[in-house]
């Protein structure tokens, strides 16, 4: 069975984040073990897998426009970077990771698909930090059309 468009979008975001490299002009080198598809870590993230991105999808209700359903699909991306207990550089570290994330996601806003457009949505910084980490949550808003005639 072919992957759904949602799955293709999530897979694209995952592989896109894995292209972040210092050689490519970013602040970090991200490997496959530093990107996982889960809302919350199911295990402690090892220090050699930091910084880290968590990815998950949230579907909004589609709207109808003629014979098309316009789907709004949000991909939530949580960026996590380590910092020391009294590290004044935590803000700088998380801002650099956020900068990398935003930059790489806008290289291809179509997410590799003809009928998808994505843009950066809200960005939140939690008041409570996970122990010894700084983090953000970014919403990537994706819009795509699906024909009801083919459904």
CA atoms within 13 A on the CB side of 33: 7
So what's the pLDDT on residue 52?
A: 94
d(CA 64, CA 46): 45
d(CA 7, CA 50): 25
So what's the pLDDT on residue 1?
A: 64
Beta-carbon neighbour count of residue 57 at 10 Å? 17
In tens digits, what is the pLDDT along the chain, a chain of 151 residues? 678 888 999 999 999 999 999 999 999 999 999 999 988 776 788 888 889 999 999 877 778 878 888 888 999 999 998 876 555 677 888 899 999 999 999 999 999 988 899 999 999 988 665 667 888 999 999 998 877 655 4
Q: Across the strands, what pairs with 27?
A: none
So what's the pLDDT on residue 127?
A: 67
């Amino acid at each position: 069975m072919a992957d759904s468009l949602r799955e293709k979008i999530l897979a694209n975001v995952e592989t896109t984040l894995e292209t972040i490299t210092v050689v490519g002009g970013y602040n970090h080198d991200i490997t496959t073990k530093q990107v996982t598809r889960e809302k919350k870590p199911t295990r402690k993230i090892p220090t050699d897998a930091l910084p880290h991105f968590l990815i998950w999808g949230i579907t909004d209700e589609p709207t109808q426009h003629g014979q098309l359903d316009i789907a709004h699909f949000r991909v939530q991306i949580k960026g996590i970077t380590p910092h020391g207990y009294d590290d004044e550089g935590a803000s700088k570290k998380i801002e650099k990771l956020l900068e990398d994330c935003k930059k790489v996601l806008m290289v291809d806003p179509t997410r590799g698909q003809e009928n998808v457009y994505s843009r950066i949505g809200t960005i939140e910084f939690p008041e409570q930090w996970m122990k010894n980490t700084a983090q953000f949550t970014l919403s990537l808003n994706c819009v795509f059309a699906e024909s009801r005639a083919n459904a």
